[in-house]
Amino acid sequence: MNLSIDMQERENELFVKVAGEIDAYTAPKLKESLHPSAETENDKDIVVDLSEVSYMDSTGLGVFVGLFKTVNARGGQLKLVGLSDRLRRLFDITGLGDIMNINSKVEGGVE
């Protein structure tokens, strides 16, 4: 159950490429990596590329819900890109697909 996180900052944007599985064991690592930037800077947009995430459970959803709330409260936007059909379905079933900015295509993310 490995998770790798690659982060690149560009002006008011943080690009994050996540690879592996997001579950109860790896979600704390993801949260520790993402939340400090979201909590300390106003008007920062965060783009998370999930194209290499093979699995995510409700713990991972919780990380993104918390991140979404924090980023929005500070005037930024959270954009999730590169979701597989399975991940997209997970967000849609929970109703988060209607609330969050989700795009199946990766646009200018981390190389």
Asked if residue 85 is part of any domain, the answer here is yes
Strand order across the 45-56 sheet: 3-10, 13-22, 45-56, 78-81, 101-103
Q: Which residues 6+ apart lie within 8 Å of 98 measured at CB?
A: 92
Longest pairwise C-alpha distance within the chain: 34
Give every residue of the chain whose pLDDT is below 50, as ranges. Answer: 109-111
Residue 59's domain comprises 3-103
Torsion region of 11: left, alpha or beta (phi above 0 gives left; psi -120 to 50 gives alpha):
left
Percentage of the chain exceeding pLDDT 70: 92
Q: Which residue has the tokens 């981390």?
A: 110
pTM: 0.89
111 within some domain: no
Is 109 within the bounds of a domain? no
In a domain, 40, yes or no: yes
Q: What is the CATH number of the domain that holds 81?
A: 3.30.750.24
Domain count, the chain: 1
